[in-house]
Structure 1
Amino acid sequence: MPSISLRLLDANLNRASEGLRVLEDLARFAINDEALSRELKTARHELARLAQPLDIRLLSWRDSAADVGRESTLRAGVPERDLLAVVRANAKRAEESLRVIEELARLPELAACINPGMIERLRYTTYDIEKRLAGRVLRRERAATLRGLYVIVDREVSRGRALNDVAREAIAGGASVIQLRDKVGSRGEVYRAALELNALCAGSGVLFVVNDYADVAAAVGAAALHVGQDDLPLEVARKLLSIDTVVGVSCHSTEDVRRAQEEGADYIAVGAVFPTLQKENPVVVGVEFVRRARQQVPGTPLVAIGGITLANAGQVVAA
Structure 2
Amino acid sequence: MNPTGWRAYLVTQGSLSAGRDTTSIVEAAIAGGVDAVQLRDKDRSARDRYRLGRRLRDLTAAADVPLIVNDRVDLAAAIDADGVHLGQSDLPVAVARDRLGDGAILGCSTSTVAEAEAARSAGADYLGVGAVYGTDSKDVPDATNGIGTDRVAAIADAVDVPVFGIGGIDATNADAVAAAGATGAAVISAITAAEDPEAATATLREVIEDAR
State if a TM-score over 0.5 links the two structures.
yes
Alpha carbons 1:152, 1:180 under 8 Å: kept: yes
Aligned equivalents of 1:239, 1:258: Cα separation in 2: 20
Residue 170 of structure 1: aligned partner: 29
Aligned equivalents of 1:312, 1:186: Cα separation in 2: 34
Alpha carbons 2:3, 2:126 under 8 Å: kept: no
Q: Tell me: CA distance 1:177–1:280, structure 2 relative to 1, closer, same or farther (3 Å).
A: closer
Residue 296 of structure 1: aligned partner: 158
**Which letter maps to 2:156?**
R
Alpha carbons 2:140, 2:167 under 8 Å: kept: no
Q: Tell me: CA distance 1:279–1:261, structure 2 relative to 1, closer, same or farther (3 Å).
A: same
Q: Tell me: CA distance 1:250–1:315, structure 2 relative to 1, closer, same or farther (3 Å).
A: same
Post-superposition shift, 1:239? Answer: 2.6
Post-superposition shift, 1:144? Answer: 4.0
Q: Which has the higher contact order (CA 8 A, sep 6+)?
A: 2
1:217 aligns with 2:76: yes
Residues 280-291 of structure 1: matches in 2 within 5 Å?
282-283=141-142, 284-291=146-153
Structure 2 unaligned spans of 5+: 181-212
Q: Whose Rg is larger?
A: 1
TM superposition score normalised by structure 1: 0.53
TM superposition score normalised by structure 2: 0.79
1:308 aligns with 2:159: no
CA offsets per residue over residues 2-43 of structure 1, 9 Å max, x none? xxxxxxxxxxxxxxxxxxxxxxxxxxxxxxxxxxxxxxxxxx
CA offsets per residue over residues 252-291 of structure 1, 9 Å max, x none? 1111011101111111110111001233785121111111
**Which letter maps to 1:149?**
A
**Which letter maps to 2:151?**
F
Aligned equivalents of 1:157, 1:235: Cα separation in 2: 32
**Which letter maps to 1:300?**
V
Residues 147-166 of structure 1: matches in 2 within 5 Å?
147-166=6-25
CA offsets per residue over residues 184-224 of structure 1, 9 Å max, x none? 11110111111111111111121111001100101111111
Aligned equivalents of 1:146, 1:212: Cα separation in 2: 23
Residue 196 of structure 1: aligned partner: 55
Residue 205 of structure 2: aligned partner: none
**Which letter maps to 1:268?**
L
Residues 3-14 of structure 1: matches in 2 within 5 Å?
none
Aligned residues: 177
Residue 239 of structure 1: aligned partner: 98
Q: Tell me: CA distance 1:146–1:214, structure 2 relative to 1, closer, same or farther (3 Å).
A: farther
Q: Tell me: CA distance 1:192–1:301, structure 2 relative to 1, closer, same or farther (3 Å).
A: same
Q: 1:256 aligns with which of 115, 123, 137?
A: 115
How well do the aligned residues superpose, as a CA RMSD in angstroms?
1.6
**Which letter maps to 1:197?**
L
Partner of 1:226, secondary structure, is: strand
Post-superposition shift, 1:300? Answer: 0.7
Aligned equivalents of 1:241, 1:159: Cα separation in 2: 34
Aligned equivalents of 1:143, 1:279: Cα separation in 2: 28
Aligned equivalents of 2:166, 2:99: Cα separation in 1: 26
Q: Tell me: CA distance 1:193–1:147, structure 2 relative to 1, closer, same or farther (3 Å).
A: same
Higher strand share: 2
CA offsets per residue over residues 224-274 of structure 1, 9 Å max, x none? 100000011112222321331111000011110111011111111101110
Residue 14 of structure 1: aligned partner: none
Higher helix share: 1
Post-superposition shift, 1:293? Answer: 1.0
Aligned equivalents of 1:258, 1:249: Cα separation in 2: 11
Aligned equivalents of 2:156, 2:139: Cα separation in 1: 26
